[in-house]
Structure 1
Amino acid sequence: MKKITLLAVCALFSNSLFSQQWNGNTNSTDPIFRTGKVSIGTDNNNDRLNINGNLRLTGNSGNKIVFGGGSTAPTGTTYVGDDGNFHIRLDGSKLYLHPYSSVFLFDEPDPNPLLKKAFSMESNGVIGMGTDNFTCSGCAEYRLFVKDGIKTEKVKVEIAASNGWADYVFKDDYKLMPLHDLDTFIKTNGHLPEVPTTEQAIANGIELKEMNILLLKKVEELTLYTLQQQKQIDLQQKELQQQSRSLKELAEKVKNKD
């Protein structure tokens, strides 16, 4: 009997001790909370919640990790932690990843705007590097925006269909602009047909794939012009040779008569 009484007292004491660690109702549905720090799998108590191991959210009801803005944080801005080197920042509909700087935590002026925008992503999946400005004329179909240059070893551009390449210039039914018409066009407009003007290129930029195809088209047209001229030169040389032979034959006849 004494043992049973002792076990009951211990159980009540441990339950009382545990209940003192948390605030809230003692049922299984109402929230419980505490003002101290909680550590799981570790005795590290540097932060409010310290976990040694993985953190997994399970369920199929749209699990989320929600970060509430503090009194010093700008309205509508949520900050996700950093490791002293990089900082992840949620601001409205954009996600930012950039080198760490304490000024980015609040509304202080940015020391380098491009630094904060090192990597940004819009909620619709559009990605920016060095910029978060995804709004411009004709930009709706683009997914990657880069400020400044891109250095890479290779760039491969897909061609949607065979008629997207410029080899149709070599088809027998292709109408090549006569050279005298081309000369008139250049003198009037100051640029090649179909090629954007300087003003248009500055205002709208150029589409690299389209421009490469257009330049190939002009090279192929130039090749056709060259071949045409070579045919004319060959024909003229042949006519000159025939005239030269005819003159020699005529000269021989005249000489023989004398």
Structure 2
Amino acid sequence: MKANQLLKSTIIKMQLVCICATIIMITSPYNIFAQSKTKVQKASGSRIEDSYTANDYYLYNKSGEMTGQKGSLRASSTGITLGTDADNLKITLKVNQTPAFEVIRGVNGDPTFFGPGTGWTRYIGAGPLAFFTRNRGMVNASDIPQVFVASEGQVGIGTNLSAVKSDNLNKYNLFVMKGVLSEDYAIGPKDNWADYIFKKDYSLLTYIDLEKFISINGHLPGIPSAQEIKSNGYSLHDMNVKLLSKIEELTLYSIEQQKEIIALKKSLEKHQLLEIRLRKLENSKK
């Protein structure tokens, strides 16, 4: 008997708790999931209001009556929308009450992403980062991004680096499709240059050996073949060194040729002098 009375008492208490909880949920100013058109006024003039349809909910932060379905925050079955039609729209994310990141409606209505701090603004992803410019919101898996940043830090412009050979990925950090147009271009300091050609112990090929090498290989010594360039490309700095070495070798060949020309001229002058003397002797005998 006592057990039945205790059970009935417990059920009645649970029912009372459920009724109280339901009343609190319906009348609370934080109830954004109400299915009615009731507008609930919070303290300080802010308002949380349900939508005029059953599936959309709006959070307002304005005083006075609102008309239509425009709000600062909208939650629906298609996602969450932040923002109003105001020209000075700004969404600020704060960490410890300090602005960490802002999305601003900037010049001409352009969206502007702003890091208000004086330090770095970091964009971090566990995988690669891809940036697209499209007239439509979505992209296909096969679309090539305008800018691509690999997990290891390599940057591709107009390429996702999938066609780049692993050797080149290990050697370089920037890959640009179609080419680069620049008013100036510089290469950082390097410790290898082609001045070794002018050292006294440098062995310059003879004309005979040079001609033989070209006839067999079809390219200059020390210069990659057309097939090598087609397969592997080339380093701009390394190629500059190689081309300069050939210019310096040509300079040495020119100096050597000039010495031979001068020697031949002197020899020719001597022969001409001898020829003149011989003619004079022959004429004197006559």
What fraction of aligned residue pairs are identical, expressed as a percent? 28
The CA distance in 1 between the partners of 2:92 and 2:233, in whole Å, is 47
- Letter of the 1:137 partner, please give it: S
Indicate the SS of the match to 1:128.
strand
Could you say if the C-alpha distance between residues 38 and 121 of structure 1 is closer, same or farther in structure 2, counting changes exceeding 3 Å? farther
- Letter of the 1:160 partner, please give it: K
- Structure with more relative contact order (C-alpha pairs < 8 Å, separation 6 or more): 1
Indicate the SS of the match to 1:104.
coil
TM-score (norm 1): 0.65
**CA shift digits 1:152-177 (9 cap, x unpaired):** 2222112411xx11122122222111
Could you say if the C-alpha distance between residues 45 and 238 of structure 1 is closer, same or farther in structure 2, counting changes exceeding 3 Å? same
- Letter of the 1:236 partner, please give it: L
Paired residues of 1:39 and 1:50 also in contact (CA < 8 A): no
1:241 corresponds, among 248, 262, 269, to 269
Could you say if the C-alpha distance between residues 220 and 196 of structure 1 is closer, same or farther in structure 2, counting changes exceeding 3 Å? same
Aligned residues: 200
TM-score (norm 2): 0.60
Could you say if the C-alpha distance between residues 49 and 104 of structure 1 is closer, same or farther in structure 2, counting changes exceeding 3 Å? closer
The CA distance in 1 between the partners of 2:254 and 2:95, in whole Å, is 70
Aligned to 1:7: none
Indicate the SS of the match to 2:231.
helix
The CA distance in 2 between the partners of 1:122 and 1:39, in whole Å, is 41
1:102 corresponds, among 115, 136, 148, to 136
Aligned to 2:82: 50
Aligned to 2:255: 227
The CA distance in 2 between the partners of 1:196 and 1:40, in whole Å, is 70
Could you say if the C-alpha distance between residues 19 and 40 of structure 1 is closer, same or farther in structure 2, counting changes exceeding 3 Å? closer
Aligned to 1:153: 183
Aligned to 2:150: 122
Indicate the SS of the match to 1:154.
coil
Paired residues of 1:118 and 1:130 also in contact (CA < 8 A): yes
Specify the structure having the higher radius of gyration (Cα).
2
- Letter of the 2:252 partner, please give it: L
Deviation at 1:125, TM superposition (A): 1.8
2:167 corresponds, among 138, 150, 172, to 138
The CA distance in 2 between the partners of 1:142 and 1:209, in whole Å, is 13
The CA distance in 2 between the partners of 1:41 and 1:210, in whole Å, is 66
Task: Give the gaps of 5 or more residues in structure 2.
Answer: 1-23, 35-49, 51-55, 64-69, 75-79, 84-88, 102-109, 112-123
Aligned to 2:229: 201
Task: Give the gaps of 5 or more residues in structure 1.
Answer: 1-12, 24-33, 65-82, 85-89
